[in-house]
Amino acid sequence: MSCPIQVLLIDSNPSEAAGLRDKLAVSKRATFAIQIVSTLSQALALLEDTRFEAMLVDLATPDAEWITMLSNLQCRAPESSIIAMSGDEDETKALEVVRAGAQDYLLKERLTTVALERILLYCIERQRARTRAALHSSVSQVLATSQSLAETETAILRVLCGFLEFDYGEFWRLDRAAGKLVHHQSWHVPSRDVGALSAAAHAMQFTKGKGLAGRVWATGTAAWVPDLSQDPELRSARVLIEGGFKSAFALPITLESETLGVMEFFGRKSQEADDELLRVTVTIGSQVGQFLARKVTEEEKQRLTNERLLILDSASEGIYGIDLRGCLTFINRSAARMFQRTQEETQGQQSHELFHHTRPDGARYPVEECPVHRVLDQGQLFRSDEECFWRKDGSQFAVEYSCFPMFEGEKISGAVVCFNDITERRRMEVELRHAQKLEAVGSLAAGIAHEINTPIQFVGDNTRFLRNAFRDLAQLLACYERLYGHAEQGTVPAGLLYEVKAGREKADWEYLQVEVPKALDQALDGVNRVANIVRAMKDFSHVDRRAEKAAADLNKAIESTLIVARNELKYVADVQTDFGAIPPVLCHLGDLNQVFLNLLINAAHAIGDVVKDSTQKGHITVRTRLVGDCVEISISDTGTGIPEAIRTKVFDPFFTTKGVGKGTGQGLALARVIVVEKHGGTLTFDTELGKGTTFHVRLPLAGALEPREALAT
Ligand SMILES: Nc1ncnc2c1ncn2[C@@H]1O[C@H](COP(=O)(O)OP(=O)(O)OP(=O)(O)O)[C@@H](O)[C@H]1O
Ligand SMILES: [Mg+2]
């Protein structure tokens, strides 16, 4: 059954008013709830409390001019239809009355039930249609123009309060996780004080079915409460009534069949449920619901974007993104700082032109050859720590960077470059290498000094022996000189013969005859040994200043290294060499000597750990062979072997099991860089705990391409 239509009848003639009421009472098309007043002031007082859909106004009401009356009524109840009645059949006046806001002008004596009923219903329908259209247009305008969710919610409350003639509205949003309706926004007409009500709302939450909002959530349909005092279940009904509120209305905010929230309205007029308005508000509820869902998604997206930007900006690594053309799509704060540019000025610029336009050697190169652009073509990750990026002021800095392809589905959509300025690291590496070199030179020098000391000592001993022998022989020769002088004159004194004999005995000529040549040989041998060591040192410290590799005899190189390392090895191990016939290898010999030395010293240390303080010695074997188009150098020891747990770590930089001062953990890391990266070879090992270890260095005869050469091809 449809609700009765609220009609206010303003007529100072009681019998005519009763007549009109009786006419409407028998209407078959609608039910009218009619209230009668006789003056404008009574009407205005009643409009304070009650909402009427239509007003039948007798223009002859005594307390006001008709024109004043119409404007007052319109002002107080703008959504209500006004139908003027008069006893004058005056067309001009009728027109003025309609112009002044009345919907129609009726002659009282001609009014039949049917005519009155039809005119009223048509006016009301027209007014409703107007209200509906205006309401939709206002809501649409709010949804189209509001910037934020909060602004939208408040504006919708304001618009609906205006149209529905309510004074106060609240916006409740469903908190899915908590399973409750949570207060979001309130709005009230400026003339109303809703302090207590609004404060209470902030602290409130509704579960499903509880309170008016909870009931609307549960049923998914709008609900009117025409008289708050009749609904004790309603939240804080007392507060509401004390606040001067009489009626309430709530509508669900929906997205398809789902309820996203509820809007509640409170008014000081008693209002009957209005089916038509209910229908209209349902549409508005779903319109707001769609907007809400879209806005929540947008705000969530914006939040995620902001969060991503915040993460990017708080990273100390430089990070930037490029599209398929290589143009910058974003750049984080660290990257902008390193490039000395602002985030804004780089937007949309070509990254290659801006800061990545040279090869590792500083030569400019076109964008088509840039490895970052290759990532855009091929979709494969690229890393490098050999290039440099350029600052705005024209200076460059060394970088380590990774370029990751980005995909949209199967397709490459761009790339992200993450980089670090490694200038400081490079400087420290150089310093460290320098310090280590000095340390290594110091310890090698000590060993070599020891090696040279032995031959030098016996060169010295023999030379001293020769000096004494020469002194004795010189004295003997002086005796013989004198003997010769006397013999020439034919008189040899017996004493002189005796002196010669004694001199011969003293010089021990027989002994010197045997020993002097030996001493000379030994001294020469010592000199040769020293010369050998010096030569080996020269070979070992072979500094290849040319960037290109040169062909070298690795057997000879190993021999030199063994001489240089002799002092480190000889106390713990006997060294055997098993050199195969190998052709020259194209290599950086100075670097390879370092590799052999590191492997030999590691072998000596491992054997040292086995033989400890005993007088026993282990064995080191160095073997070279030609294997296909590679040379393989194997260095075996009878040391401790490498425990399973550290086998994967021994090549890591700074991994060591040795005590401070004995190892820095860089020997194998360096060896691997030299063998694998510089020579395109392999460095592997076989090991057995308690038995020993063999390291295998395999080097291609032709040498590998330098990274720079590889890049250019
Ligand atoms: N022949 C070997 N036998 C047993 N363990 C070895 C052998 N070679 C290397 N290792 C193990 O690998 C670790 C790393 O070796 P690496 O040469 O890189 O560093 P280090 O010898 O400890 O120090 P550094 O060479 O810098 O003076 C060693 O500490 C050792 O534990
Ligand atoms: Mg080592």
Pocket test for ligand 1, best of 569, 656, 666, 684 (most atoms within 8 A of CB): 656
In a domain, 47, yes or no: yes
| Cross-strand pairs, 55 | 8, 82
Place of tokens 């034919």: 490
Ligand approaching nearest to the C-alpha of 639:
1
Rounded Cα gap, residues 674 and 243, in angstroms: 87
- pLDDT of res. 549: 85
- Angle at CA 471, nearest 5°, toward 466 and 472? 100
* pLDDT for position 586: 93
pLDDT at residue 451 above 80?
Answer: no
Task: State whether 691 and 558 are in the same domain.
Answer: yes
Give distance in angstroms: CA of 667 to centre of ligand 1: 7
Q: Do 556 and 454 lie in a common domain? A: no
DSSP per position, 640-706: ----GGGTTTTTSTT---SPTTT--S-HHHHHHIIIIIITS-EEEEEEETTTEEEEEEEEETT-PPP
Distance 435 CA to ligand 1 centre (A): 19
Q: What's residue 669's pLDDT?
A: 87
Tally of domains in the chain: 5
Whether the per-residue pLDDT at 596 is higher than 90: the answer is yes
Q: How far is residue 566's CA from residue 444's CA, in Å, rounded to a whole number?
A: 10
pLDDT attached to residue 359: 77
* Nearest-CA residue for atom 17 of ligand 1: 667
Task: Report pLDDT for 712.
Answer: 33
Measured distance CA(639)–CA(691) in Å, rounded: 6
CA 571 from chain centre, in angstroms, equals: 55
511 and 442 assigned to the same domain: yes
Give 299-309 pLDDT, tens digit per residue: 889 889 889 88
- Is pLDDT above 50 for 327? yes
Residue nearest atom 19 of ligand 1, based on CA coordinates: 665
Residue owning the nearest CA to atom 5 of ligand 1:
642
Q: pLDDT tens for residues 157-178?
A: 999 988 888 889 999 999 989 9
What pLDDT score does 322 carry?
94
pLDDT grade for 661, boundaries at 50, 70 and 90: low
What CA–CA distance (Å, rounded) separates 395 from 382?
24
- Mark which of 133, 158, 186 sits at the end of a domain: 133
Q: Looking at the CA of 671, which ligand is closest? A: 1
What separation in Å is there between the alpha carbon of 668 and the centre of ligand 2?
Answer: 6
Residue 201 lies in a domain: yes
Q: Is there a single domain that holds both residue 208 and residue 285?
A: yes
Residue 278 sits in a domain whose CATH number is 3.30.450.40
> Are residues 177 and 270 both part of a single domain?
yes
Q: Which two tokens stand for residue 345?
A: 């000025």
Query: Are 320 and 309 a contacting pair, CB within 8 Å?
Result: no
My answer on whether 434 and 353 are in the same domain is: no
Give me 195's structure tokens: 């302090």
The residue whose CB lies within 8 Å of the most ligand 1 atoms, and thus the one to mutate among 600, 657, 668, 693, is: 668
Same domain, yes or no: 565 and 516: no
| 328 shares its domain with 350 | yes
CATH of the domain at 104: 3.40.50.2300
Output the pLDDT for position 693: 97
250 and 331 both lie in a single domain: no
pLDDT at residue 545 above 60?
no
Strands (DSSP E) contained in 506-611 are 550-552, 573-579, 585-587
Greater model confidence, 537 or 177: 177
Which of the four pLDDT bands, split at 50, 70 and 90, describes residue 542?
Answer: low
Ligand nearest to the CA of 573: 1
- Which residue's alpha carbon is nearest to atom 31 within ligand 1? 657
Residues 6+ apart with CB under 8 A from 175: 181, 182, 205
**Residue 30's pLDDT is what?**
83
Average pLDDT of span 573-577? 96
**Residue at a domain's end among 385, 400, 421:** 421
Question: For all residues of the chain together, what is the average pLDDT?
Answer: 86
Q: Kindly report the CA angle at 614 between 608 and 618, in degrees rounded to 5?
A: 45
* 183 falls within a domain: yes
Question: Per the domain annotation, does 138 fall within a domain?
Answer: no
Same domain for 192 and 226, yes or no, is yes
CA of 691 to the centre of ligand 2 (A): 19
Q: Which residues line the pocket of ligand 1, CB cutoff 6 A?
A: 598, 602-603, 606, 637, 639-640, 642, 650, 655-658, 663-669, 693
Judged against a pLDDT cut of 90, whether residue 613 lies above it is answered with no
pLDDT band at 464 (very low <50, low <70, confident <90, very high): very high
Residue 312 lies in a domain: no
Confidence of residue 595 (pLDDT cuts 50, 70, 90): very high
State what percent of residues in the chain have pLDDT above 70: 94
Residue of 596, 658, 674 to mutate, ligand 1, most atoms within 8 A of C-beta: 658
Q: Are strands 81-86 and 180-188 parallel, antiparallel or unpaired?
A: unpaired
Dump pLDDT digits (tens) for 426-443.
888 777 776 766 776 677
Higher-pLDDT residue of 446 and 96 is 96
Q: What CATH number does residue 624 fall under? A: 3.30.565.10
Q: Which of 375, 392, 421 is the last residue of a domain?
A: 421
Which of ligand 1's atoms lies nearest the C-alpha of 436?
26
pLDDT computed for residue 599 by the predictor? 96
Three-state SS string over 407-459 comes to: EECCEEEEEEEEEEECHHHHHHHHHHHHHHHHHHHHHHHHHHHHHHHHHHHHH
Cβ within 8 Å of residue 627, ≥6 positions away:
698
Question: Would you say 589 and 552 are in contact if contact means Cβ atoms under 8 Å apart?
Answer: yes
The CATH number that applies at residue 346 is 3.30.450.20
Is pLDDT at 636 greater than 90 in this prediction? yes
Is residue 706's pLDDT more than 50? no
Residue 532 lies in a domain: yes
Q: Is the pLDDT of residue 698 over 90?
A: yes
Lowest mean pLDDT among 84-93, 98-107, 155-164, 703-712: 703-712
Average pLDDT over every residue of 221-233? 79
Residue 684 has pLDDT above 70, yes or no: yes
Q: For residue range 494-524, what is the model confidence (pLDDT) as tens digits?
A: 888 888 888 888 888 888 888 899 889 888 9
pLDDT at 101 over 90: no
- What is the tens place of the pLDDT at every residue in 107-120? 888 888 888 888 88
Boundaries of domain holding 21: 5-133
For residues 171 and 38, membership in a common domain is answered with no
Mean pLDDT value of segment 308-326: 91
pLDDT tens-digit profile of 333-375?
A: 999 999 999 989 998 999 988 888 787 777 788 888 888 889 9
The answer to whether the Cα torsion of 119, 125, 126, 127 is positive or negative is positive
Q: What was the pLDDT predicted at 711? A: 36
Is 92 within the bounds of a domain?
Answer: yes
* The pLDDT of residue 243 is above 60: yes
Distance CA 472, CA 468 (A): 6
Q: How would you label 583-602 residue by residue, b for 16+ Cβ within 10 Å and e otherwise?
A: eebbbbbbbbbbbbbbbbbb
Residue 1 has pLDDT above 70, yes or no: no
Question: Quick one: 433 and 517 in the same domain?
Answer: yes
For residue 662, give the ligand 1 atom closest to its CA.
Answer: 27
pLDDT at 577 over 60: yes
Lowest mean pLDDT among 55-64, 225-234, 519-528, 600-609: 225-234
Residue 89 and residue 76: Cα distance in Å, rounded?
28
Count helices and strands in the chain by DSSP H and E runs: 21, 23
Q: Assess if residue 633 is contained within a domain.
A: yes
Cα–Cα distance for residue pair 638/654, rounded to 1 Å? 24
Decide if 568 contacts 667 (C-beta within 8 A): no
- Of the bound ligands, which one is closest to the alpha carbon of residue 606? 1
In the structure encoding, which two tokens stand for residue 432, read together? 């460290």
The confidence score (pLDDT) of residue 710 equals 38
| Percent of the chain residues past pLDDT 90, beyond the cut | 36
How far is it, in rounded angstroms, from Cα 477 to Cα 203?
A: 129
